[in-house]
Structure 1
Amino acid sequence: MDVSKNLVDVPFALSQLGGNSDLLQRMLQKFKNEFASVPSDVRSLLDAENIKDAKLKVHTTKGLSGNLGLIALYDCAKIFDQQLKNENIDVSLLDTFEALMKETCDAIDTIDLETNNVAEFSQTQKKHNHKQIFLERLQRHEFIDDDTLHMYIDSLGLAVDEKTLLFSLVEELQYAKAISIINESQ
């Protein structure tokens, strides 16, 4: 597994939060405080043969790390989540997951975002930004929570039936079809 990727993609994370650097700073700290112990929790759960709860912790980590631009951790959690789902676990991946969590939390401590310095996005910039981010996330087959998915779809200016279809396609993991519909939108 290639772990040479960025630990924290700050521009991506800022774009996820509409440029709100203060919110990003708080969310990164909250992630660190609440998720630093996840690898040891997962190890304990696996030792107790509780794969279901271990998968839930890894899956949650995958979703949040993806949304916050914690790229290397997201990539690792994505693979680990799949292994847990298939109950075919490579124990060395747990070690990598643990190391990446520590490195990511250490990196979060070094980030100092100046508050109120990010220019407010215009409505046109937000629409374009949401569309681009939505497409990129679908291309990476990234988890998108329902609220964020609705925000992306609403920003496209589609008819109600197109919105419903697009939501269904994403929920059903039919990303190629969803991407096609988005690219055809204005």
Structure 2
Amino acid sequence: MENQALLVDLDFGTKQLGGNTALFVKLLGRFEDEYQDAESKLAEFQQHNNLETMQLLVHTIKGVSGNLGLERLAKEAKKVEALVKRDSLDDESLQTLIHTLNQTLTEIQAVRNQHTRSSDENTRHVAQTHSGEHVEALTKALQQQRFISDELFDNATAQSNLSQADKEALQSAILDLDYPRALAILGES
């Protein structure tokens, strides 16, 4: 039954963010960066019997993974947290959590790679459009809340009649994944 829980629930994570897949992938990347060394930290806390710090880390992993739709990791972290609270953590439970964490990080990398490939395909499509269509392609990508490549941004802003200040504001909005604001800036051109 446990194996039925997903490592990364893309639908849940994307829905949590109003359908913004790019933001979800960005948050997965932050999770990966933040917890890539969690295995060594957990082992160190166990070795030094630092249960309070271990409980805090496991609690944080549980909460963040639950919010991101990392179901299996959230379940394992919940089990380990309960064991740590009762001072009854066993090696097998900790190793299961670490194994699940590593599987989740591997799956996150696969999701991020897939998103990058999709973005690259979008970039190739935009490069094939006529020069008069770059702004339209950028607008469409923003409306669909897709990843905006540097090439798409550069081509569209070169073609637009935006001022330098508006181009910078547009770039800032895109980097912040604030697509409604970016669309508003494009509409003001």
Question: Which secondary structure does the structure 1 equivalent of 2:3 belong to?
Answer: coil
Partner of 1:12: 12
| Counterpart contact for 2:73–2:104, Cα < 8 Å | yes
Partner of 2:47: 47
Alignment-mate amino acid for residue 12 of structure 2: F
| Counterpart contact for 2:58–2:77, Cα < 8 Å | yes
TM superposition shift of 1:31: 0.3
Alignment-mate amino acid for residue 29 of structure 1: G
Poorly superposed stretches of 4+, deviation over 6 Å? none
Return the alpha-carbon distance in structure 1 between the equivalents of residues 90 and 3 of structure 2: 16
Partner of 1:107: 107
Partner of 1:33: 33
Instruction: Flag the 1:81–1:106 CA change in 2: closer, same or farther, 3 A.
Output: same
The alignment's TM-score, normalised by the length of structure 2, stands at 0.59
| Counterpart contact for 1:55–1:81, Cα < 8 Å | yes
Runs (5+) with no aligned partner, structure 1: 120-186
| Counterpart contact for 1:39–1:94, Cα < 8 Å | no
RMSD over aligned CA atoms reads 1.9
Alignment of structure 1 residues 20-169 onto 2, 5 Å:
20-111=20-111, 112-113=114-115, 116=142, 117=144
TM superposition shift of 1:56: 0.4
Name which one, 1 or 2, has greater alpha-carbon Rg.
2
| Counterpart contact for 1:39–1:97, Cα < 8 Å | no
Task: Pick the structure with more helix per residue.
Answer: 2
Corresponding pairs, count: 119
TM superposition shift of 1:118: 5.5
TM superposition shift of 1:5: 2.0
Return the alpha-carbon distance in structure 2 between the equivalents of residues 34 and 45 of structure 1: 17
Higher-RCO chain (CA-CA 8 Å, sequence separation at least 6)? 1
TM superposition shift of 1:85: 1.0
Partner of 2:176: none
TM superposition shift of 1:17: 1.1
Could you list the per-position Cα deviations for residues 27-72 of structure 1 after superposition, in whole angstroms to 9, with x for gaps in the alignment?
0011011112112201111110110000000000000000000010
Return the alpha-carbon distance in structure 2 between the equivalents of residues 54 and 36 of structure 1: 16
Q: Percent of counterpart pairs with the same letter? A: 31
| Counterpart contact for 1:83–1:89, Cα < 8 Å | yes
Question: Which secondary structure does the structure 1 equivalent of 2:59 belong to?
Answer: helix
Runs (5+) with no aligned partner, structure 2: 119-140, 147-189
Return the alpha-carbon distance in structure 1 between the equivalents of residues 3 and 51 of structure 2: 25
| Counterpart contact for 2:22–2:145, Cα < 8 Å | no
Could you list the per-position Cα deviations for residues 67-88 of structure 1 after superposition, in whole angstroms to 9, with x for gaps in the alignment?
0000100000011111111111
